[in-house]
Structure 1
């Protein structure tokens, strides 16, 4: 090998369509099939349900507008890791990356893969039953069909993304087109059905006096979870063509498109089902489709949910590995995680380690539903904390680096990033008050990364000093 040859780099191969598919594919996951019932129970009003979706959409848009400025200014792999490092220093970038590697992105991948397996269980009977059991030292170990299916999903999509960003992006395009098309078609068919009634919207002109700040806040938190994932586009900034134009356009128009899809499917839900049934439904999308379209409708919406989770899984795997890759390139993670496959031009080792970590979470926590709930509590708390300080980085960098080239400037600056920061603070405060133990454990996981940061930073600084000598 020629020692003077440049090491392989990531390839700018994702266009506007591919980036848009990644945003829509990772945002529209399982939430839209589950969250509307929670919002309806909390608000007790059809009008308030739609208000929550609109407010949640505009709050997500405020975050997207802030990220658009940062993504256009720093179109590199890593997203928030790059932004926080530049605005506040390497420690903040590392803490974000640590949270993503330890529990944020890996936990999300494990959860999405498990949801895919659960939806598949609608067609494959007894998938939740044990397929392997073993006892050792008095400890019973069990592996279920759901766990095996989830592991298989992670393996398949990790291999697909190992094969090249073009392949991963094309798979994302197809899956996102299928799932958005299916949701829109099913919504239109539901609205055209003679099983529904516009009288279900009879309370739409007033908001129940019973709706308080706490109930609205809980409903809004559920909606924000359904909108979550729009930030993933910035993690692949180094692989997007013409990123100075593409990233802002995809973030802004992508969130608007997702909000339109969410409002359309909610319109179908409430047209077919009255408010009381929406509130009580544990399988809202299936119940709506079965009533409006018959047995085949319930099956069709389940297929749509399976495709939706697969698109979200592919997008999470594709984008997540770029964070650990960027950390390794800066000397703040295991060095070989920054290697690029010379043939496929992908962060191969980062993808493999990410898949192994997500698989381990499934093996350890896959049969404990409450464990997964705790896992998501840790992840969501950490993610929203970093969302807030990343939005605030727009203001910090405007003050610290006024001459920095900014191909896009946040609309409504400084109020838009400041408002999003305050919402993120309120979101995290609500989680601390509602479940202080899980939030505390999330902070403890972040703190556990500090010794690793000190080690990697010392090693990097020592290497720099040696090279200067």
Structure 2
């Protein structure tokens, strides 16, 4: 284990924690997933049931994480829980998967989303998207290297701008719902009806019943995208060592964040529905752009570009903040990676871990500039790995209840063990759904984990060799 150095300090307020969590969760997904959910559910009732169900599942999961984070506050978050429950090797594989797939892949994807939309406003030449993406990663890395307070303040302002952007979508829906300026409203209504009529058959085929109940497979696929859009609230665990009065505020941060996110998602989907209709939503390739275009014309198209760019920046910044904490925890536990375990006492950030994370993300941006597959590819690549470790973390709560029964738990999950088992069942179902859906992407994820296992073997071998040399001397 690396020699102890400066540790994280409790400097984050509840407001900062909520801003970071909301910023992580509300990303580009809410501008893409609603059309897919509408397609797979096929009716307004089932569509809203899916989004409300996603909020309920997230709340149950948050209660499980609140117990873990309140009992064992640590900058390593999930990594620390897995380490306590299953040992250092499983924890290392999680850290590797997070570094090589989950976190850096998310940063690179979101950076390309930012680049795609900024290039619609101002092109920087033939490689405009990649240049904007790289600039976003570099700029936000610089912001976070200045210190946790700078990163947290930046996050608060970005999250405010992001929420205001989503509220603009709600305003557009209200504008069309109450009639707009007459002519525009009539065009919107007729356009929505035409879109709905043209796509009723397609929506019915996708959902399994036109206007009725979707098939279990279709609803399960809709939930994959719903929970993907809700995903990220568990990142709050990485802030537990830096959150003031974390034993009480962690539960408040998780529940408060999910409540805000669920309210925004339901309002935004209501706006999409009343602006475009269920058929128009299912057919749309860019549902937010279509809604604002109907409501506000060309100005709306520019606004949506700015909104998505801000949403991408918000999620990148928040992901950088929490992602580097896993690398820091690994550096503290593994001597071969001790450089990652340096915490800058003045700035309150793991400098080397943050630089390594951003460097790998920039490498992915460079690779993706010629070969990226976009939103769908990242779902394929990350979903099976993500749900595997999410399932293990949920079971870890039960394992630690048995293994460490006398540990003080300021918060205990109500209805134990029913709620943890219910959330574990959801995780297992989502793992199965993602494996059945992604196929080739799942193989890539497995390949990455195998590479991590080989790296773990090499590090262990170096450690044993060093121990023998030290013993011989």
Q: TM-score, normalised by structure 2?
A: 0.88
Residues 1:430 and 1:300: Cα distance change in structure 2 (over 3 Å):
same
Within 5 Å, give how 1:60-459 maps onto structure 2: 60-125=58-123, 130=126, 144-193=127-176, 194=179, 195=185, 208-209=211-212, 211-331=214-334, 334-370=337-373, 373-457=376-460
Residues 1:374 and 1:286: Cα distance change in structure 2 (over 3 Å):
closer
Of 43, 48, 51, the match for 2:49: 51
Query: Alpha carbon RMSD of aligned pairs, Å?
Result: 2.6
- How far 1:374 sits from its partner (Å)? 3.8
Which residue is equivalent to 1:141?
none
Encode CA deviations 1:39-64: one digit per residue, 9 max, x unaligned. 11111111111111011111111211
Mapped to 2, the partners of 1:292 and 1:375 lie a distance apart of 31
Encode CA deviations 1:161-181: one digit per residue, 9 max, x unaligned. 111011100000010011112
The more displaced of 413-422 and 264-273 is: 413-422
Mapped to 2, the partners of 1:104 and 1:20 lie a distance apart of 21
Mapped to 1, the partners of 2:277 and 2:91 lie a distance apart of 47
Mapped to 2, the partners of 1:210 and 1:251 lie a distance apart of 32
The more displaced of 416-425 and 150-159 is: 416-425
Encode CA deviations 1:412-453: one digit per residue, 9 max, x unaligned. 321211111111111111222233332122122112212322
Residues 1:113 and 1:332: Cα distance change in structure 2 (over 3 Å):
farther
Encode CA deviations 1:317-372: one digit per residue, 9 max, x unaligned. 11101101100101165210111234323111111111110010111122323377
SS at match of 2:407: coil
Residues 1:332 and 1:25: Cα distance change in structure 2 (over 3 Å):
farther
Whether the aligned pair in 2 keeps the contact of 1:48 and 1:207 (CA below 8 Å) is no
- How far 1:151 sits from its partner (Å)? 0.8
Which residue is equivalent to 2:39?
41
Mapped to 2, the partners of 1:82 and 1:333 lie a distance apart of 18
Mapped to 1, the partners of 2:95 and 2:335 lie a distance apart of 9
Mapped to 2, the partners of 1:149 and 1:207 lie a distance apart of 42
Which residue is equivalent to 1:137?
none
Encode CA deviations 1:206-236: one digit per residue, 9 max, x unaligned. 9834610111111111111111111111112
- How far 1:411 sits from its partner (Å)? 2.5
Residues 1:114 and 1:381: Cα distance change in structure 2 (over 3 Å):
same
SS at match of 1:239: coil
SS at match of 2:10: coil
Which residue is equivalent to 1:136?
none
SS at match of 1:402: coil
Encode CA deviations 1:13-48: one digit per residue, 9 max, x unaligned. 111000000110010001111111101111111111
Mapped to 2, the partners of 1:378 and 1:367 lie a distance apart of 17
SS at match of 1:273: helix
Structure 2: any 5+ residue segments left out of the alignment? 180-184, 201-208
Whether the aligned pair in 1 keeps the contact of 2:119 and 2:132 (CA below 8 Å) is no
Mapped to 2, the partners of 1:289 and 1:371 lie a distance apart of 23
Encode CA deviations 1:295-331: one digit per residue, 9 max, x unaligned. 3233223222211111101001111011011001011
Q: TM-score, normalised by structure 1?
A: 0.89
Structure 1: any 5+ residue segments left out of the alignment? 131-143
The more displaced of 6-15 and 237-246 is: 6-15
Mapped to 2, the partners of 1:45 and 1:186 lie a distance apart of 21
Mapped to 2, the partners of 1:333 and 1:63 lie a distance apart of 34
Which residue is equivalent to 2:206?
none
If each structure's helix is expressed as a fraction of its own residues, which one has the higher value? Answer: 2
Whether the aligned pair in 2 keeps the contact of 1:73 and 1:405 (CA below 8 Å) is yes
Whether the aligned pair in 1 keeps the contact of 2:147 and 2:348 (CA below 8 Å) is yes
- How far 1:457 sits from its partner (Å)? 4.0
